[in-house]
Chain A
Amino acid sequence: MNYEISEKEFTLNIDLHQRLTLLAKEGDLEVADTKQVRANLEKTLAVLADTPYLKFGLEAVPGFNGLASLMVAVEVVADISPSICLSVETSTRVFGKILTQWGTPAIKEKMLPPLLAGKLIGALALSEESMNVENAPLTAGGAVNGDTAEISGKKQYVINAPVADWFAVAGVAEGKSAVFLVKAGTPGLTVGPRKNTPGFQGAAIADITLENCAIPADQILMIPDGQNMLQTLRMWENQVLIGASLGLMKTAFDGARNHAKTHRSGGKPVIAFQEVGFKLSDMLTLFQTSQLFAFRTAWTTENVPADAESLTLCAKVFCSESAEQVAGEAMRILGGAGYETGNPVERASRCVKFLQIAGTSTEIARVKIGDAALGLRN
Chain B
Amino acid sequence: MEFSFTKEQLMFKKEVIRFAKKEIVPRIQEFELKKQFDFESFKKLGDFGILGLHFPEEYGGGGADVITTVLAGEALGEAGVDGGLTLAYGAHTFLCADTIFSHGTEEQRKKYIPKLASGEWIGCMGLTEPNAGSDVASMTSTAEKKGDKYILNGSKIFITNGPIADVSVVYAKTDMEKKHAGISAFIVEKGTPGFSAGTPLIKMGVCTSQTSELYLSNCEIPAENLLGKEGDGFNMSLQTVEWDRSALLAPFVGAATFMLNRCVAYAKDREQFGRKIGQFQAIKRKIANIRIFGEAARNLVYRIAWCKDQKKPLNHLEAAVAKLFVGDWSMGPSNDAVVLHGGYGYCHEYDMERIFRDSRLAPIGGGTSDIQRMIISKLI
Enumerate chain A interface residues (CB-CB to B < 8 A). 1-6, 9, 65, 68-69, 72, 257, 271, 274, 277-278, 280-282, 284-285, 288-290, 292-293, 295-296, 299-300, 303, 310-311, 314-315, 317-318, 365-367, 369-371, 373-376
Contact = CB atoms under 8 A, between A and B. Distances in A.
A370 B328 CA distance: 23
Contacts of A374: 264, 267-268, 278, 284, 287
A311 B260 CA distance: 15
Contacts of B224: none
B1 A277 contact: no
A369 B1 contact: no
Considering the complex of A and B, which 7 residue pairs feature the smallest CB-CB distances, nearest first?
A370-B284, A277-B377, A292-B299, A281-B376, A369-B288, A281-B373, A366-B288
Contacts of A370: 278, 281, 283-288
Given A284-B376, A373-B264, A317 B306 contact: no
A252 to B, nearest CB: 14
Given A280-B377, A370-B285, A292 B303 contact: yes
Contacts of B283: 370
Contacts of B292: 314, 317-318, 369
B53 to A, nearest CB: 18
A278 to B, nearest CB: 4
7 contacts: A281-B376, A293-B299, A317-B288, A367-B288, A373-B260, A373-B291, A374-B264
B200 to A, nearest CB: 34
A373 B288 contact: yes
B306 A2 contact: yes
B106 interface: no
Interface size on B, as a range, is: 35 or more
A297 to B, nearest CB: 8
B311 to A, nearest CB: 13
A255 to B, nearest CB: 13
B347 interface: no
Contacts of A288: 300, 318, 321
A282 B4 contact: no
Interface string B39-71: 000000000000000000000000000010000
Interface string B363-380: 000000010111011101
B67 A1 contact: yes
A290 B292 CA distance: 11
B96 interface: no
Q: B284, B286, B370: which has the most chain A beta carbons within 10 Å?
A: B284
A81 B155 CA distance: 57
B307 interface: yes
B344 interface: no
A369 B303 contact: no
Nearest to B299: A292
Contact of B295 (A281, A314, A371, A375): A314
A278 B373 contact: yes
B300 A292 contact: yes
Given A257-B380, A374-B264, A369 B296 contact: no
Given A257-B380, A278-B373, A281-B324, A3 B307 contact: yes
Given A3-B302, A367-B281, A299 B1 contact: yes
Q: A278, A300, A370: which has the most chain B beta carbons within 10 Å?
A: A370
B273 interface: no
A4 B288 contact: no
Nearest to B264: A373
A296 B302 CA distance: 11
A374 B295 CA distance: 17
Given A281-B372, A284-B380, A300 B284 contact: no
Contact of A369 (B291, B299, B300, B378): B291
Contacts of A367: 281, 284-285, 288
Given A68-B1, A285-B325, A314 B291 contact: yes
A263 B330 CA distance: 34
B299 A289 contact: yes
B306 A3 contact: yes
Given A277-B373, A277-B378, A288-B300, 5 more contacts: A6-B1, A278-B373, A289-B296, A370-B284, A376-B278
Q: A292, A303, A311: which has the most chain B beta carbons within 10 Å?
A: A292
A370 B276 CA distance: 13
Nearest to B268: A374
Interface string B289-322: 1011001110110110011000000000110110
A6 B2 CA distance: 10
B376 to A, nearest CB: 4
Contacts of A1: 2-5, 67, 302, 306
A4 B306 CA distance: 10
A280 to B, nearest CB: 6
Nearest to A72: B1
Contacts of A300: 3
A310 B264 CA distance: 15
